[in-house]
Amino acid sequence: MRIRQVISAFVVILLALLICACADNSGKKATSPTVLMADSSYDNHSYSNISEVRTKHLDLELDVNFKNQTIYGVARHTIENLGADTVIFDIKNLEIQKITTGLDEEKETNFLIGEWDKDSLLGQPLLVKIEPTTKYVNIYYETTQKTEAIDWLPAELTDGKSHPYMYTQGQAILTRSWIPLQDSPANRLTYSAEVKVPKELMAVMSAKNEKQKNTEGKYKFKMDKPVPSYLIALAVGNLEYKALGKNCGVYTEPTNLKKAANEFSELPKMINAAEQLYGPYQWGQYDLLVLPNSFPFGGMENPCLTFVSPTVIAGDKSLTSVIAHELAHSWSGNLVTNASWEDFWLNEGFTVYFENRIMEVLYGKEIADMLLLIEFEELQDEIEKIENGEHPEDSKLKLNLAGRNPDDGMTDIAYVKGAFFLKTLENQIGRVKFDIFLKAYFTNNAFRNMSTERFVDYLNVHLLDIHNITFNSHEWIYSKGIPKNCLMISSPRFQSMEQLVKRFNSDEDIFDPVVKYVKVKGKKRKKKEIQQLKKSDFIAQEWLEFVRKLPDSIAVDRLKYLDKHAGFTKWNNAEIKTEWFTLAIRSGYKEIFPQIETFLKNVGRRKYLLPIYEELSRTQENLKWTKSVYAKAKINYHFVSKQSIDEILKIN
Ligand code: BES
Ligand code: ZN
């Protein structure tokens, strides 16, 4: 956004426009000086003028009203001003009531709401008139039915079915839809909040939280480490807490607490492993909040309180790498933050690398390698998709997302190509040196943002030059696809699964008992033994690999055979279910469509929904059924999931 140069002209225009009511926030055509569309800041997804004037601290007063599904709020900004006469905030679908300046004595000030961007992605700039001496800007506002960050859930859509629930999702650019602020990851602010909620509910935020509900329904929060705006988060529901270690625990609805505490019992070990690797955990407390089904992500790294999808509770700890991932963000992302959404790989690539290191400490290299290989396979599919898509340049690490949704950059490129860039670098340099580099990287850049360009400089100075090493970082970052020197990982246990798939493909009934004669030590005669393959012979990741390596489509009776012995349809592991369901759809295994329907109605995590909806939308016959399922299921999805599914099903 190139807004900055024209700000001073704003006052004149503002005065002219104030004559006709200034805050037309109701539709997409607001009072609209055309001057608003220019800015020279680094972030393509924020209107804010943070290089001139920025919020240092935010005080929130929030009244969470479930009856109207509205937050009535005051956002009190403490600003640092380098001499601007206007401060620009981002807003999206917010109702602005009034804006004042001052702390004890508030005085109303003029403001103006600019035009929407062409695709209504960014929302609108909110321009507020300030004096050089202004320190406090107070925005009185309400959220609306169109507020995209907030999911309001009636009691029926929660686990306990007895109390309503609400939560926010800020990343990437949705915080502006529930708080008027400068919504760029390039700025950091401390915040405090006073939140009023119905007495029977508890509020938690991305800050230090109380452990118990109080009787007044009033909660206070203080985040005194500066965070980027996308990490401000709130959830309100019928919550209970259980400690899992000295500085960690889990919040869930009471009905879920035992299961969750059990699933996440290794959290203290993960924190310990992470600290051993890259230095002390900087945020005090580390808790998890298990959300209702509609939560669109596996996890979201809100500081002090990671938000987690209930799908992570598989019952056998087979999906807890998600927790390692979100924990790792406490360093990569939350301490050192991508400067813009075009540098997203600096958040996610580092985090996938770090997550895998934590998993290696806890479960060993063999398992860690399997986890990475699963992701590498996904990367290869993603690259193929990108190459054949509208934006083949999206397989570069550094992206250009001007005029596009930052979500478009949320692909396996950032996550997995990013992680393999670091893996390859580690392999060339040696783990010891690489770990020293990474630890220092997090320490030296803590509570700051990082652009790709600055990272390249940092890497050269602090790693490559001092060890006199040449590395093709430029190719990794600025070229498409996977460079030739990419580290290849192999897994003997996955290779065995491939053998098993081969046997299955040649029509062998792999689960049927076989008679084997085995040698017994010290005896001449071999012993007769009946051997039978069992589901429990392999871990979830091995079975996932097995399903993946099956042919694109399979005779239905063979699928039934697998289901009978390995129970894929009933398995409470959503990774496996998703892989299995897409295969079932391709193969016309109609008998399990009711189970697919149940899954679509109960799971809100976008990663699982999209492949299933995509597969279902390939034939006209399925598409009709799918649309009717979606019509019933979507009440249980967050806005971000609905937005993506609407695109797949070409709705609107
Ligand atoms: N920060 C992301 C989620 C996110 C990214 C939300 C971009 C909105 C915009 C989170 O850390 C994440 O990566 N979640 C993954 C988990 C995984 C890779 C283990 C997910 O939800 O699938
Ligand atoms: Zn992540």
> Domain with 436 in it: what CATH number?
1.10.390.10
Q: Is the pLDDT of residue 14 over 80?
A: no
Q: Is residue 311 part of a domain?
A: no
Burial of 34 (C-beta count, 10 Å sphere; 0-12/13-18/19+): exposed
Ligand 1 centroid to 307 CA: how many Å? 10
Tell me if 133 is assigned to some domain: yes
CATH of the domain at 35: 2.60.40.1730
298 lines ligand 1 (CB under 6 A): yes
Q: Is 326 in the pocket of ligand 1 (CB under 6 A)?
A: yes
Burial of 268 (0-12, 13-18, 19+ CB in 10 A): middle
What DSSP string describes 76-91? Answer: EEEEEESS-SEEEEEE
Q: Which of 431, 463, 478 is the last residue of a domain?
A: 478
Residue 257 falls inside a structural domain: no
Residue 34 lies in a domain: yes
Q: Report the C-alpha gap between 486 and 479 in whole angstroms.
A: 13
Give the distance (Å) from ligand 2 centre to CA of residue 164. Answer: 28
Using one digit for the tens of pLDDT, what is the confidence trace for 521-579? 988 899 999 999 999 999 999 999 999 999 999 999 999 999 999 999 999 999 999 99
Tell me the C-alpha distance between 308 and 177, whole Å. Answer: 21
Q: What is the pLDDT of residue 619?
A: 96
Residues 6+ apart with CB under 8 A from 236: 64, 165, 166, 167, 195, 197, 201, 202, 203, 204
Closest to 148 (Cα-Cα) out of 118, 115, 170, 126 = 170
178 located within any domain: yes
Is residue 497 classed as helix, strand or coil in its secondary structure?
helix
Q: Which of 478, 509, 525 is the last residue of a domain?
A: 478
326 is catalytic: yes
Q: Is residue 629 in some structural domain?
A: no
Residue linked to tokens 């040698």: 519
pLDDT of 90 above 80? yes
Distance from C-alpha of 478 to C-alpha of 118, rounded to nearest angstrom: 28
Ligand 1 binding pocket includes 253 (Cβ within 6 Å): no
Calculate what percentage of the chain has a pLDDT beyond 90. 92
CB of 300 within 6 A of ligand 1: the answer is: yes
Any domain includes 315: no
CA torsion, points 613, 618, 619, 623, in degrees to nearest 10? Answer: 30
Q: 293 CA to middle of ligand 2, Å?
A: 19
Residue 111 has phi, psi (to 5 degrees) of: -145, 165
In a domain, 40, yes or no: yes
Asked whether 329 lines ligand 1 (CB < 6 A), one says yes
Q: Does 322 sit in the ligand 1 pocket, CB within 6 Å?
A: yes
Residue count (the chain)? 652
At residue 409 the predicted structure's pLDDT band, cuts being 50, 70 and 90, is very high
Domain span at 372? 341-478
Which pLDDT score, from 0 to 100, does residue 67 have?
A: 98
- Taking only the tens place, the pLDDT of each residue in 180-192 is 999 999 999 999 9
C-alpha of residue 494 to centroid of ligand 1, in Å: 26
Q: Would you say the pTM of this structure is higher than 0.85?
A: yes
Evaluate if residue 170 carries a pLDDT over 90: yes
* Per-residue pLDDT tens digits for 579-627: 999 999 999 999 999 999 999 999 999 999 999 999 999 999 999 999 9
pLDDT in tens, 114-136: 999 999 999 999 999 999 999 99
Residue where a domain stops, chosen among 456, 478, 500: 478
Q: Is 286 a catalytic residue?
A: no
Q: Is residue 74 classed as helix, strand or coil in its secondary structure? A: strand
Into how many domains does the chain fold?
2
Considering only CA atoms, which of 88, 94, 92 is closest in space to residue 47? 88
Residue 652: the pLDDT is 80
Confidence of residue 41 (pLDDT cuts 50, 70, 90): low
Q: Which of 286, 415, 608, 637 is catalytic?
A: 415
* Cα angle, residue 485 at apex, residues 483 and 491 outer, rounded to 5°: 105
Q: Which ligand 1 atom is at minimum distance from the Cα of 171?
A: 8
Task: Give distance in angstroms: CA of 254 to centre of ligand 2.
Answer: 27
pLDDT above 60: residue 27 = no
Residues with CB under 5 A from ligand 2 (ion): 348, 351
Q: Which long-range contacts does 282-285 make (Cβ < 8 Å, 24+ apart)?
A: 282/225, 282/330, 282/331, 282/335, 282/446, 283/225, 283/330, 283/334, 284/208, 284/247, 285/208, 285/209, 285/247, 285/248
